[in-house]
Structure 1
């Protein structure tokens, strides 16, 4: 089941807990898996918006929902990348608009090799 949600232009950092609470209230009343489709077309591309979306994604994940962002302007996408959260929206773009992954998925990162220094003591 898809749950629509929108983030407006005038978000202050103090508004973020209220936004997350509003989303949690919406999700508590709906059973089963699904996704939250968050429209950010009217959102201001700033650090507070990025923080709000990251926390909304965590809220959706805690309720077993995927979080999909739509309407993101290029400035907002660039800000996500600059803040090291480029993968946050990249999966949505690469899939052509199809949500990917599972909420709260904890898979081991592949392709990472640990380098051992010969001078390191064994643990």
Structure 2
């Protein structure tokens, strides 16, 4: 006899990053609270990652860049980093223009090969 999965939340291991969802508009008054949240989520992780969901922030501007830079700084001081989730192409372009680099969820990290891509094929290698 088999039984279904146990009720409740699925098991999450320690490597699952915390997620911080940014609301549509972030005011300067909210930035210290958001930085505190990032530091709290990284506390005791020793170099962890906080995923920052930016899908709902609307059209990017320098205010958004300021918020993300401050969150990245807070994460760095806590020994971690920020990874963006669902950034708008305009936001990515603006980040590039101001010289800020963020990891983006779903992309290969620097120095890490892209998934499913074979770097070289030798003649006579068997097909997988």
TM-score by length of 1: 0.64
Once the two structures are superposed, residues 69-118 of structure 1 have per-residue CA deviations (whole angstroms, 9 ceiling, x without a partner) of 12110121122233x22x413xx36x9624459xxxxxxxxxxxxxxxxx
Match of 2:91 in 1: 76
Match of 1:9 in 2: 24
Q: Decide which structure has greater helix share.
A: 1
Aligned CA RMSD, in angstroms, stands at 2.4
**Taking structure 1 as reference, are residues 100 and 59 closer, same or farther at Cα in structure 2, changes over 3 Å only?**
farther
Q: Structure 2: state its 5+ residue gaps.
A: 1-14, 112-128
TM-score by length of 2: 0.62
**Structure 2 residue 61 is the aligned partner of structure 1 residue 62:** no
After TM superposition, which residue ranges in structure 1, 4 or more long, deviate above 4 angstroms? none
- Matching residue within 101, 106, 114 for 1:88: 101
